[in-house]
Amino acid sequence: MRILLVGAGGVGDAIAKIAARRSFYELIVVSDYDEGRAKRTVDWVRARHGDDVASRFTTAQIDASDPDRVAAVAREHGATHVMNAVEPKFVTSIFAGALAAGADYLDMAMSLSEPHPTDPYAETGVKLGDDQFAQASDWQQAGRLALVGIGVEPGLSDVFARYAADHLFSEIDELGTRDGANLVVRDEEGNEIFAPSFSIWTTIEECLNPPVIWEEDKGWYTTPPFSEPETFDFPAGIGPVECVNVEHEEVLLMPRWVDAKRVTFKYGLGDEFINVLKTLHLLGLDSTTPLRVRSANGPAEVAPRDVVAAALPDPASIGPRMTGKTCAGLWVTGTGKDGNPREVYLYHVSDNEWTMAEYEAQCVVWQTALNPVVALELLSDGTWQGTGVLGPEAFDAVPFLELMKKPEAEGGYGQEWHLEERTPK
Amino acid sequence: MRILLVGAGGVGDAIAKIAARRSFYELIVVSDYDEGRAKRTVDWVRARHGDDVASRFTTAQIDASDPDRVAAVAREHGATHVMNAVEPKFVTSIFAGALAAGADYLDMAMSLSEPHPTDPYAETGVKLGDDQFAQASDWQQAGRLALVGIGVEPGLSDVFARYAADHLFSEIDELGTRDGANLVVRDEEGNEIFAPSFSIWTTIEECLNPPVIWEEDKGWYTTPPFSEPETFDFPAGIGPVECVNVEHEEVLLMPRWVDAKRVTFKYGLGDEFINVLKTLHLLGLDSTTPLRVRSANGPAEVAPRDVVAAALPDPASIGPRMTGKTCAGLWVTGTGKDGNPREVYLYHVSDNEWTMAEYEAQCVVWQTALNPVVALELLSDGTWQGTGVLGPEAFDAVPFLELMKKPEAEGGYGQEWHLEERTPK
């Protein structure tokens, strides 16, 4: 397996760092628009793991917006797999470049949605991933696999959905991804600051788009942003967090492979963050349409959302000043294998103190990066195989969850996931 | 009198339009960084008032950040007066350019403040206008006048302060400028939108800087932003509006010429606007320090605050979609000439429907522009005269208020101002 990793931002950097402890691949090409960033990642691998491990890494400059350039870099390095670790606006170009190069493809976010032109808060328009699924037959005909949405959410959440359907439930009422955290970031003086732990560009995209819900008898439909607020009680000391509906890939993926009456995604944003997002929208600062603005070198055309992202601390850089844990999981309700009502929360917790000590990566970014590495390992030995455009729930969940949980000393990743039985309402 | 008007934005445009009905000057040079904007103003004057009036106007390109260029344009046109109508960050360069060219100078906002380095929310650092007052002796020695802060607030409010001290009160407890409005802006579909009626750049500067207060026994001191909220009941159907302390020139000007125990400025921002300003600050989007951001033509260095301004509707353009009135005034408490407690609110109301119909200018911008034209007329015939750096309260208020109020048919501006007696608490 020869992997072209596109993007050495927070998640891409953590993918390389996690993979550095594994041996299932021959080469990882860490590529970025700014090759210096890719070099920093490989320098870390060399410093931490030595020259032998680092010899299986190299770097490249890449323009992720150009399919031809993606294909050229993939061909140049004989990539068998293209691992997309950049912002979702580049999904379509990397997806096309991988297919052109004859490589398999993985991503952690799917091609972007477009709201319904006349009724955006009730009906779907172009849905997340529609552009990719529309090309499924091309991938099948080429005998190539595009494994889409294999981060933590989507990703691990989808693996949990497959697991719940196969091993825990005879009938599922709701597959509800629920994400919450108790992370706090402080400045040098120790004062709490506003510093989102994940790409604000992506968070704005997710949270201001109309949230999508799936129901057995209605199919996919949308609501206004921040709908159906619900206090969800998270484990591991995080406690109750206010969650709202957010547009997310799980809702588009799970119903394609798993039977359920309802599929939702709710994000524990909290009041402050919801207010920030609403205010950005009120002012038009969420927009990706470039505006003409004065700059030191004359008028420049910049997208307000890019400026918002640039004004905030880089999520990859805040790890040292952050404390707390993040929890990603799937809340499942329905009828158990024994015919009785059942309610479980399947989850994985990432502790910033631990991810910083072990990987110098902050916990949200690290938790996202873990899952594609596990998936790549399962693909490398044929445990997982397939062609076409497939979500994580199209594969057997058990080998994934076993490899993830098994201690490192026994060849696994040593990452506990948990099943919490809850009392059905 | 030959006037170099620097800036053909909302206020500069309205100054030219108001002046077009008067005959006290020989020439007005409308200048702007974008000369096309200046030409649009003069085209309006020609279309509305004919070639004769328009022949007393010309245009020029100017870079307000360059004192030499300001001086060169002033000399080229033999300007006797430089009227600054651009954002306050250009005050120092235009101020210097005017003096270099041997012209008198007027502005509507003073040189910017800098917070106290260690105790910003209790002590003043560099105060509004400090840079200008530091040069007062240069202006005196040159025999030239810099009339600073002669918009509506500061400006008319300061004229009111002089008037109250000379004609209404024997002793003043508080000179409290209070500004409120009931303006609403709608989009094409008739939905209310967020569209500040005044430069957001200046509003951010005013509202996020530590508000300054003056007290007889403490001198100038500061508080945290949005301090001392107070519901003030505005006249003309506007009604009660939540007002908070805001850094403003009146507090720096009035105590230099008028005796009072306390001088404050409170702005009727309302909850939504306060939340917007707090959020911009939380995200660092109020910053004027350029950030590196991607643009269509490669990385650009842009200031987040400039992007916020560019993302919002131009305040000069929203007039047709705006309804309501804005009220500028001075609330004075103390002891009347008869020795009894007295409380008055001296104010002027600007109605957007009227300013749009008469001047195609929105009411906040128009109300600001009115006062420097009145002042220029008083300077042109020697009714007002002086040298050095002087505020509006350094001059006799009566001729200003009379010229302003006198009907147009009798040679005045036909702008009623009002004295409302209130019951002292």
More confident call, B272 vs A132? A132
pLDDT digits (tens, 9 = 90+) for B98-116: 999 999 999 999 999 999 9
A89: how many CB neighbours lie within 10 A of its CB? 16
Choose among A194, A294, A306: nearest Cβ to B293.
A306
Dihedrals phi, psi of B308, to nearest 5 degrees: -60, -45
pLDDT of residue A189: 87
Position B232 pLDDT exceeds 80: yes
Residue B314 pLDDT more than 90?
no
Q: Which of B287, B296, B312 is facing A301, going by the closest CB pair?
A: B296
User: What is the ipTM for the molecules in this complex?
Assistant: 0.71
Q: Which of B80, B88, B32 is nearest to B58 (CA)?
A: B32
Q: Taking residues A96-114, what's their average pLDDT?
A: 97
Gap from A48 CA to chain B (nearest CA, Å): 31
Q: How far is CA A118 from CA A115, A204, B406, in A?
A: 9, 21, 54
For A106-138, b/e burial (b = at least 16 CB within 10 A) is bbbbbbbbebbeeeeeeebbebbbbbbbebeee
Q: How many residues does chain A have?
A: 425
Question: Is the CB of residue B204 less than 8 Å from the CB of residue B225?
Answer: no
**Looking at beta carbons, which residues of chain A come within 8 Å of B306?**
293-294
Q: How confident is the model at residue A268 (pLDDT cuts 50, 70, 90)?
A: very high
CA pair distance A91, B66, nearest whole angstrom = 46
Which residue in B has a C-alpha nearest to residue A192's C-alpha?
Answer: B282
Q: What is the mean pLDDT of chain B?
A: 96
3-class DSSP string for A83-152: EECCCHHHHHHHHHHHHHCCCEEECCCCCCCECCCCCCCCCCCECCCHHHHCCHHHHHHHCCEEECCCEE
Are A352 and A362 in contact by the 8 Å Cβ rule? The answer is: yes
What pLDDT score does A198 carry?
79
Res. B425: pLDDT tops 90: no
Q: Does A292 touch chain B (CB under 8 A)?
A: yes
Three-state secondary structure string covering chain B: CEEEEECCCHHHHHHHHHHCCCCCCCEEEEEECCHHHHHHHHHHHHHHHHHHHHCCEEEEECCCCCHHHHHHHHHHCCCCEEEECCCHHHHHHHHHHHHHCCCEEECCCCCCCECCCCCCCCCCCECCCHHHHCCHHHHHHCCCEEECCCEECCEHHHHHHHHHHHHHEEEEEEEEEEEEECCEEECCCCCEECCCCCCHHHHHHHHHCCCEEEECCCEEEECCCCCCCEEEEECCCCEEEEEEECCCHHHHHHHHHCCCCEEEEEECCCHHHHHHHHHHHHCCCCCCCCEEECCCCCCEEECHHHHHHHHCCCHHHCHHHEECEEEEEEEEEEEECCCCEEEEEEEEEEEHHHHHHHHCCCHHHHHHHHHHHHHHHHHHCCCCCCCEEECHHHCCHHHHHHHHHCCHHHCCCCCCCEEEEECCC
Give A 308-337 residues with CB within 8 A of chain B.
308, 310-312
Neighbouring C-beta atoms of residue B268, cutoff 10 Å = 23
Q: How many whole angstroms separate alpha carbon B76 and alpha carbon B78?
A: 6
Q: Which DSSP state fits A190?
A: S
Residue of A281, A302, A305 to mutate for B, most B C-beta atoms under 10 A: A302
Average pLDDT over residues A145-159: 98
Within an 8 Å CB–CB cutoff, is residue B34 touching chain A? no
The answer to whether A306 and A201 have CB atoms below 8 angstroms apart is yes
Per-residue confidence at B155, pLDDT binned at 50, 70, 90?
Answer: very high
B292 neighbourhood in chain A, CB within 8 Å: 310
Give the pLDDT confidence score for residue A393 in this predicted structure. Answer: 98
Contacts of A33 (CB under 8 A, 6+ apart): A61, A62, A63, A64
Contact A268, A243 (CB under 8 A): yes
Confidence (pLDDT) at A2: 98
Which residue of chain A is at minimal alpha-carbon distance from B286? A311
Per-residue pLDDT at A401: 98
Task: Give the HSE-up count for residue B397: Cα atoms under 13 Å, Cβ half-sphere.
Answer: 19
Nearest-CA distance from A204 to chain B in Å?
14
What are the CA-CA distances from residue A284 to residues B178, B182, B411 (Å)?
30, 23, 46
Length of chain B: 425
Is 80 exceeded by the pLDDT of residue A314? yes
pLDDT for position B202? 85
Residues B203 and A39: their CA atoms lie apart, in Å, by 44
Binary contact (B310, A287; C-beta < 8 A): no
Q: Are strands B325-336 and B341-351 parallel, antiparallel or unpaired?
A: antiparallel
Q: What is the mean pLDDT of chain A?
A: 96
Asked whether the beta carbons of residue A312 and residue B284 sit closer than 8 angstroms, the reply is yes
Q: What is the pLDDT of residue A272?
A: 86
The CATH superfamily label for domain A156-366+418-422 reads Dihydrodipicolinate Reductase; domain 2 (3.30.360.10)
Superfamily in which the A2-151+368-410 domain is placed by CATH: NAD(P)-binding Rossmann-like Domain (3.40.50.720)
State the pLDDT at residue A230.
93
Rounded Cα gap, residues A329 and A179, in angstroms:
6
* Contact yes or no for A300 and B304 at CB 8 A: no
pLDDT band at A214 (very low <50, low <70, confident <90, very high): very high
Q: What is the mean pLDDT of residues B117-145?
A: 97
B2-151+367-410: CATH superfamily: NAD(P)-binding Rossmann-like Domain (3.40.50.720)
pLDDT tens by residue, A321-339: 999 999 999 999 999 999 9
Q: Which of B296, B304, B311 sits opposite A284 (nearest CB)?
A: B311
- Inform me whether the C-beta atom of residue B36 falls under 8 Å from chain A C-beta atoms: no
Put simply, the answer to whether A297 touches B301 (Cβ < 8 Å) is yes
Per-domain residue ranges of chain B: 2-151+367-410, 156-363+418-422
> Which of A8, A399, A360, A408 is closest to A166 using CA atoms?
A399
CB B82 within 8 A of CB B98: yes
pLDDT-above-70 percentage for chain B: 100
Please answer whether residues A121 and A223 qualify as being in contact, where contact means their C-beta atoms are separated by less than 8 angstroms.
yes
Confidence band (pLDDT; 50, 70, 90) for A302? very high
Helix (H, G, I), strand (E, B) or coil at A196: coil
Spatial separation of the C-alpha atoms in residues B135 and B388, rounded to whole Å: 8
**How far is C-alpha A347 from the chain's CA centre?**
15
* Each residue's pLDDT tens digit, B168-182: 999 999 999 999 999
Question: What single DSSP character describes residue A376?
Answer: H
pLDDT above 80 (res A316): no
Q: Give CA–CA dist A134/A258, Å, rounded.
A: 20
The size of the A-B interface in CB pairs under 8 A is 91
Residue B316 has pLDDT above 80, yes or no: no
Q: Which residues contact residue B316 at a Cβ distance below 8 angstroms, ignoring those fewer than 6 apart?
A: B9, B10, B13, B361, B362, B365
d(CA B274, CA B267) in angstroms, rounded, equals 11
What average pLDDT score do residues B174-198 get?
A: 91
The larger pLDDT score, comparing residue B218 to residue B208, is at B218
Which residues of B are less than 8 Å from A300 in CB distance? 293, 295-297, 300, 302
The stretch B235-258 carries a mean pLDDT of: 96
List the single residue in B292, B296, B308 with the smallest CB-CB distance to A285: B308
Q: What is the share, in percent, of chain A residues with pLDDT greater than 90?
A: 90
Interface test with A, best of B87, B293, B314 (most A CBs within 10 A): B293
Q: Quick check: A296 and B296 CB within 8 A?
A: no
Chain A residues inside the 8 Å CB shell of B301? 295-297
Please tell me the predicted confidence (pLDDT) of residue A190.
87
Q: Do A296 and B301 touch (CB under 8 A)?
A: yes
A25 and A101 Cβ atoms separated by less than 8 Å: no
Contacts (Cβ under 8 Å, ≥6 apart) of B323: B183, B184, B186, B352, B353
Q: What is the DSSP letter of A155?
A: B
Give the tokens for residue B257.
């010429």
Predicted confidence (pLDDT) at residue B388 exceeds the cutoff of 90: yes
Please tell me if residue B381 touches chain A, with a CB cutoff of 8 Å.
no
pLDDT in the model for residue A297:
82
In CATH, the number for domain B156-363+418-422 is: 3.30.360.10
Q: Best of B285, B287, B291 to disrupt the A interface by mutation (most A CBs within 10 Å)?
A: B285
Quick: pLDDT tens for A1-40.
999 999 999 999 999 999 999 999 999 999 999 999 999 9
B311 and A282 within 8 Å at the Cβ level: the answer is no
Whether residue B288 lies within 8 A of chain A, CB to CB, comes out as no
B287 at interface of A, judged by CB pairs closer than 8 A: yes
Residue of A nearest to B311 (CA): A284
Q: Which residues of A touch B289 (CB under 8 A)?
A: none
Nearest CA in chain B to A292: B310
**Angstrom distance (rounded) from CA B235 to CA B344:** 12
